[in-house]
Amino acid sequence: MTPSTAHTSLPVRIAATRAETLDRAVGELVDGLGAGPFPVVLLFSSPRYPPEDLVPRLARAIDAPIAGCTSAGEIGPGGLVTGGAVAVALPAGGVTAQVFAAENARHLDLGLFDGWREQLGGAAPSGAAAGRGGDLGLVLADGLCRREEHLVAALHDRFRPMRLVGASAGDDSRYEQTVVFAGDRVLPGGLVFVALELGGIPFRTFRLQDIRPLTEPLVITGARVEERQVVEIEGRPAAEVFAELAGGPPEGPDDARIRSFSLMVTIGGEEYIRSVRRVLDDGSLELHSAIDEGVVVRIGRSDDTTVGLRRLVESLERNAERPDLVLCFDCLHRRWELERQGRLDQASELLRALPVVGFTTYGEIVDSLHVNQTLTGVLIGGSVRGEPA
């Protein structure tokens, strides 16, 4: 199995805005994208632009289905920003897209995905040829549903060998309500799935994380699984264990010292992150992703959250890989860590070297997994060496 190395141009159009008014924001996005037609426009926006106004207006102005969500920050030509919106239009021609959407991701019947699969030509979960139902799937889920693991695993099972990327929607760090977009509809608490057929254009997914372990393996001895809460680690209150590393007990639910440490779990021989959302009054920790009793973890922290991104950019330059588009989904905790480390400008500079579109998330999606404190995404087109055939 060898990667595709064919150079195939993908003439995408990227637009971004941080306009003070909705009227100006819509105008700048439409001017940047053009009128279409396009197979799909991906839109990631701060909720300060009311989605119920923004999305229908863009849908009327642009000949394309819209798919996207609200964000906790935006990634685009300006690097890492907040309070704006960013969009990308994929070109008509070889690329096709089908947008599926559902309300109420928290209580969604997973059998709905069987119908979506049938609409894509009955792509079998047991190993149909890539491209039969699509090459690449983009998943955008309610970031407060606490169910992304189940949703992503079910989608992966039904649509494999399609590669999946995506993220949990945000709401400018309010943790009140996240919204997904599909066509001209806005769906609070919903789910969007975009099946992309790239017509032979090469692509490659990636996952970056910069956490190093600080402890020996530890066992989760108490958890409230449905709430994603760790009650005890090695028989002790979870926040107490974290406090020993942070230099003292938590000063409140949003104590950045405690939240700067994360749990590391090993799945299939690889390490994945479970970030702390907040500290609870009873000494428990609420996480952004799934956890269970009996799971073995290590506690880790990042010293430099630009390392993985810098290596990615350097690798692309070294191998003369110049993508036409980089879709990026970057965890809110990574942004907080960049701010703590004073490296936010460095990360923005690295991202500006790429044709990047994405957003700051409440969790990231890669194939069958929902993870935290990672930068996930996909390199598309240009001289990118694609996924193995």
Enumerate the domain spans of the chain. 13-208+307-380, 212-301
Q: Is the pLDDT of residue 317 over 80?
A: yes
Bridge partners, 102 (sequence order):
191
Supply the pLDDT for residue 3.
45
The alpha-carbon radius of gyration of the chain (Å, integer) is 20
DSSP H or E run through 90? strand 85-90
At 389, is the pLDDT very low, low, confident or very high (cuts 50, 70, 90)?
low
Supply the pLDDT for residue 325.
97
Which amino acid, residue 125?
P
Q: Is the pLDDT of residue 189 over 50?
A: yes
pTM: 0.91
For the segment 144-158, the average pLDDT, to the nearest whole number, is: 95
Supply the pLDDT for residue 187.
98
For the segment 166-181, the average pLDDT, to the nearest whole number, is: 97
* 231-234 contacts, C-beta under 8 A, 24 or more apart: 231/282, 231/283, 231/284, 233/297
CA distance 368 to 226: 19
CA distance 290 to 59: 35
3-state secondary structure of 277: strand
For the segment 109-119, the average pLDDT, to the nearest whole number, is: 95
Instruction: Report the mean per-residue pLDDT for the chain.
Output: 92
Q: Is the pLDDT of residue 102 over 80?
A: yes
Look-up of token digits 């009227």: 23
Q: Is the pLDDT of residue 376 over 60?
A: yes
Residue pair 285/262 in contact (Cβ under 8 Å)? The answer is no
Residue pair 139/164 in contact (Cβ under 8 Å)? The answer is yes
Q: Is the pLDDT of residue 31 over 50?
A: yes
For the segment 34-45, the average pLDDT, to the nearest whole number, is: 95
Residue pair 278/294 in contact (Cβ under 8 Å)? The answer is no
Percent of the chain scoring above 70 in pLDDT: 94
At 128, is the pLDDT very low, low, confident or very high (cuts 50, 70, 90)?
very low
Both tokens of residue 327? 């879709």
Residue pair 386/1 in contact (Cβ under 8 Å)? The answer is no
Q: What is the pLDDT of residues 274-314, one digit of tens each?
A: 999 999 999 999 999 999 999 999 999 999 999 999 999 99
For the segment 73-90, the average pLDDT, to the nearest whole number, is: 97
DSSP per residue over 351-375, as a string? HHTS-EEEEEESSEEETTEEEBS-E
Tell me, rounded to whole angstroms, the distance of Cα 31 from its chain centroid.
26
Q: Is the pLDDT of residue 253 over 70?
A: yes
